[in-house]
Amino acid sequence: MITQNKWKQLRILMQQLNIAESDLVEKFIIGSGHGGQKLQKTASCVYLKHIPTGLEIKCQKSRMREENRFHARRRLIEKMEEQLFEKKSEHQQEIEKIRRQKRRRSRRSKLKMLADKKQHADIKKLRKAPKAED
């Protein structure tokens, strides 16, 4: 449940970015995906379009229409901030972090990493207790 206080904060942010409710086209679409028969019967997915910039948002984060309206507006604000201030949102930063983690290592860094591992293994071998000879 989204409180009235959060809605007020959202409206303040919208005013700061000069986003008027009259500039928004809002449609409700029948949802898809997981959620069962109830989801496919109700139009809880929110489609927002900001006419002056042409930004389009489609949100189906929850099964409740009011929550989706709130989340769609928040995403619109994030996208506007990205465009205006050339600032990357937290979501975009997470995507880039995952992309960097999955990126294949260069041949040189891979060889260096393997050499470091080999050196560490050699050091660990020296830690073993000496074998007793009969």
The radius of gyration of the chain's CA atoms, rounded to the nearest angstrom, is 26
The whole-number average pLDDT for the span 78-101 is 84
Question: Comparing 46 with 63, which gets the higher pLDDT?
Answer: 46
Is 27 found in the same domain as 63?
yes
Domain that holds residue 58: 4-87
Same domain? For 100 and 80 the reply is no
Regarding whether 17 and 81 lie in a shared domain, the answer is yes
Share of the chain above pLDDT 90, in %: 49
Q: Is residue 17 part of a domain?
A: yes
DSSP secondary structure code for residue 51 in this structure = T
Q: What is the predicted pLDDT for the residue at 36?
A: 73
What is each CA distance from 62 to 28, 51, 70, 95, in whole angstroms? 13, 25, 11, 22
**pLDDT confidence band for 134 (50 / 70 / 90):** low
Do 83 and 119 belong together in one domain? no
The pLDDT value given to residue 73: 94
Number of domains in the chain: 2
Across the range 51-59, mean pLDDT stands at 92
- Residue 107 gets the label, from left (phi > 0), alpha (psi -120 to 50) or beta, of alpha
Is there a domain that residue 134 lies in? no
pLDDT at residue 6, as a whole number: 93
Residues 99 and 81 in one domain: no
pLDDT value at residue 33: 75
Write down the pLDDT at residue 40.
Answer: 76
Query: Parallel, antiparallel, or unpaired for β 45-50 and 24-29?
Result: antiparallel
Task: Check whether residue 39 and residue 101 sit in a common domain.
Answer: no
Average pLDDT along the chain: 88
* Full-model pTM: 0.66
The answer to whether residues 36 and 8 belong to one domain is: yes
| pLDDT beyond 80 at 34 | no
Are residue 53 and residue 32 in the same domain, yes or no? Answer: yes
